[in-house]
Structure 1
């Protein structure tokens, strides 16, 4: 039950508002002066405060300023017998929710009260959610507590409550499918199917049948009717990953589904109607594709009702440590190892890396390092970090300073040797004979070194 405080020095107005609002189902308290109201606000929390503008000693505007300091979450509506545009503007600037005249229409007044309380409920829920997220490290399957990710979590929560189509934008490896799953899991459709498909990973001639299904006999090999993913996702959510890879003919068919909620199976003659929420994702610039004539503008606007941008890992470096420890725990458990953490120096190496492959690349690095690690902590020599088009182990000599804990000289020499051999093999297109010539060693020496290094 929402709580309302009525502040008015006019006893008749106080009693009228008390009776009317109590009948509407609200918990109502009254105060005959600003001082009495402020004293009440220090003891109780009110969802909404209705205050007269003209009161002795402290008027409504002065009261508004003070009460906003005492109870910033309470909404305040000023009521006056004489409306003034200047006063209304001043009231809004000082934090009033609304400003209405005493000769109000009863129906409009109760609607204003209802809207104010609904608005306050949403704001309080959002504020509570954000406070919780500031201390959380995950939201669904998404890991991260940076300010950027908290903003994403808040947007997911708001988007999930709607039925609007969503377009998730982000580089490869940022976790777009995890965001789509989180939207579905927090939506009214969560009990219905979540169906995902990578539009760029299926040949064009098969993609249409995957999406829309086919009728028996519609082509060679169609021995029975097959339902498409849109039918399977009925009532739930379909996630179209890499939607920018859709060929033009399928863009047209997808547009029809979005607009009319109907489609035809391949070889079918009857329209199939489905209620499906569409969440799309892409790492491509669809607006640029529109300018080049590669993507339909009308489809873009139908899919991009609510855009959600996922920041790359390089823009939320503070999440690297959290993600690293999460993946260490995950793969230590999977591989049956007692690894609990990563060395401080190893974490420094990761923090300095730009991660072009984003979270997916970090997970790959940690999975491989946990598989190779023999100690109880992930050490720098087992962090294989991608640089350019090749993969090399993290090089402590390139850090610009000698680490406090020292280095393993044999490990560093082996790393340098591996590096030179890989470069020579790359330059020789894999020819060991030519690589030996480039390194000015014998073929047998090169083969021995390769075997020693386990290459």
Structure 2
């Protein structure tokens, strides 16, 4: 750390300099007046110890000039006067501490130095962590896949980054909705602000309002103290509302108002609190269907809609399965300090033959278990265990007519794709009329 000592008393200047130089990490420079200090501010000191009375400037004048030049420079005021009002005034304006020229000034200055060093180390750790997280969630590296479906997702994420639009991420459980939300946050201008996730499906109905908006002391039985809600915690960052479709309809009106007015009121309070967080929501439900059922407000749906990003299930991502599998195998090896293992061709074929009802989350578990079970330098088919038995491999084990085989496969695909006949027709490369006809002719089979 670079430290400037500003002191016109030669004896005190030597005392302060000697005390500071006890810390080998400090590079100390001394100045006898305010003018010479101001001429050297461009050298970028981390700390200035400032005599309250100087021959050419008052301490208050120099303090203002230092903070105007760079508000990040820490200033410790050193004065002959033990004036509480003056000390409080300096501390309010951003001084790190106020010390009086007394017998114990050396001990007090050493204490200040230690505290300052701890603060600086903490700031550096936070900045390093932010950089690591931002790197982790850079969407070019955190969201893996080369399939056409994922390229569409990448394009939409790029559109989301420079805006403050609400983003609605939809997709089956396990498709990576929170990863996409974090990627948008940590790749945007809000990256250094908080990312606050809330799983609406995991919060009891009677606690959800307090969780989002906070509460005042005594707002309800058990509210022993004020609590800051998730909206306030997010500040200028991102509030991620996962499983928004699970939110109780009585709370949806309050969420709508918070989004429209950009302000909230804590439960049991009267104070209006401005909020400036970006909102990203996610759901595995079809919200339009939930509106028809009366479970979701239509006005909230249109307020949230913003930029929609739909994540494809893993079964629709073709060779992305192998890319992801190799990534999970490599990550597991590094995290557990184990040798890397490749995927045999037969193992790759087995992975591609499965439909992954649990999507990416399930594939990750399958690969991690395979890494543990494998006794060789590559993963073999027998190392791969699926939690759910897939129907498709068993279809050919039965003796059926070609029409029966067709119908069996069609029904399997309809189950996978939520009875969406258009999607199934595209996947199987047949006409929709063929599917309707086979289903009509064989309603029971």
Name the TM-score, length of structure 1 as normaliser.
0.54
Q: Secondary structure at the match of 2:386?
A: strand
Matches within 5 A, 1:215-254: 215-254=216-255
Q: Secondary structure at the match of 2:153?
A: helix
1:165–1:304 contact (8 Å) kept in structure 2: yes
Counterpart of 1:360 in structure 2 is 361
Q: Secondary structure at the match of 2:146?
A: coil
Once the two structures are TM-superposed, the CA of residue 140 in structure 1 deviates from its matched residue by 4.3
Measure, in 1, the Cα distance between the counterparts of 2:140 and 2:297: 33
Measure, in 1, the Cα distance between the counterparts of 2:378 and 2:396: 21
Once the two structures are TM-superposed, the CA of residue 259 in structure 1 deviates from its matched residue by 0.8
Once the two structures are TM-superposed, the CA of residue 213 in structure 1 deviates from its matched residue by 1.0
Once the two structures are TM-superposed, the CA of residue 192 in structure 1 deviates from its matched residue by 1.1
Return 5+ residue gaps in structure 2 as ranges: 1-137, 398-445
Counterpart of 2:405 in structure 1 is none
Once the two structures are TM-superposed, the CA of residue 186 in structure 1 deviates from its matched residue by 2.1
Name the TM-score, length of structure 2 as normaliser.
0.56
> Closer, same or farther in 2 for the Cα pair 1:314/1:273, shift >3 Å?
same
1:169–1:308 contact (8 Å) kept in structure 2: yes
Deviations 1:41-82 (A, max 9, x none): xxxxxxxxxxxxxxxxxxxxxxxxxxxxxxxxxxxxxxxxxx
Deviations 1:114-165 (A, max 9, x none): xxxxxxxxxxxxxxxxxxxxxxx96242111212212211110111111111
1:313–1:320 contact (8 Å) kept in structure 2: yes
2:366–2:384 contact (8 Å) kept in structure 1: yes
Counterpart of 2:372 in structure 1 is 371
Once the two structures are TM-superposed, the CA of residue 292 in structure 1 deviates from its matched residue by 1.1
Counterpart of 1:348 in structure 2 is 349
1:335–1:371 contact (8 Å) kept in structure 2: no
1:214–1:265 contact (8 Å) kept in structure 2: yes
Counterpart of 2:88 in structure 1 is none
Q: Secondary structure at the match of 1:361?
A: helix
Measure, in 1, the Cα distance between the counterparts of 2:221 and 2:335: 44
Once the two structures are TM-superposed, the CA of residue 399 in structure 1 deviates from its matched residue by 9.0
1:262–1:274 contact (8 Å) kept in structure 2: yes
Once the two structures are TM-superposed, the CA of residue 389 in structure 1 deviates from its matched residue by 9.5
- The two structures, once aligned, show a CA RMSD in angstroms of 2.2
Q: How many residues align?
A: 260
Measure, in 1, the Cα distance between the counterparts of 2:333 and 2:156: 33
Deviations 1:379-437 (A, max 9, x none): 211211133599xxx99x9998xxxxxxxxxxxxxxxxxxxxxxxxxxxxxxxxxxxxx
Counterpart of 2:305 in structure 1 is 304
Once the two structures are TM-superposed, the CA of residue 221 in structure 1 deviates from its matched residue by 2.4
Counterpart of 1:317 in structure 2 is 318
Once the two structures are TM-superposed, the CA of residue 232 in structure 1 deviates from its matched residue by 0.6
Once the two structures are TM-superposed, the CA of residue 320 in structure 1 deviates from its matched residue by 0.8
Measure, in 2, the Cα distance between the counterparts of 1:372 and 1:152: 34
Counterpart of 2:179 in structure 1 is 178
> Closer, same or farther in 2 for the Cα pair 1:389/1:202, shift >3 Å?
farther
Greater alpha carbon shift after TM alignment, 350-359 vs 238-247: 350-359
Q: Secondary structure at the match of 2:280?
A: strand
Deviations 1:309-356 (A, max 9, x none): 111111111111110000001112223321321111111011011111
Measure, in 1, the Cα distance between the counterparts of 2:228 and 2:331: 36
Match status 1:154 vs 2:143: no
1:242–1:283 contact (8 Å) kept in structure 2: yes
> Closer, same or farther in 2 for the Cα pair 1:140/1:223, shift >3 Å?
farther
Counterpart of 1:448 in structure 2 is none
Counterpart of 1:196 in structure 2 is 197
Matches within 5 A, 1:259-338: 259-338=260-339
Matches within 5 A, 1:428-443: none
Greater alpha carbon shift after TM alignment, 255-264 vs 217-226: 217-226
Counterpart of 1:63 in structure 2 is none
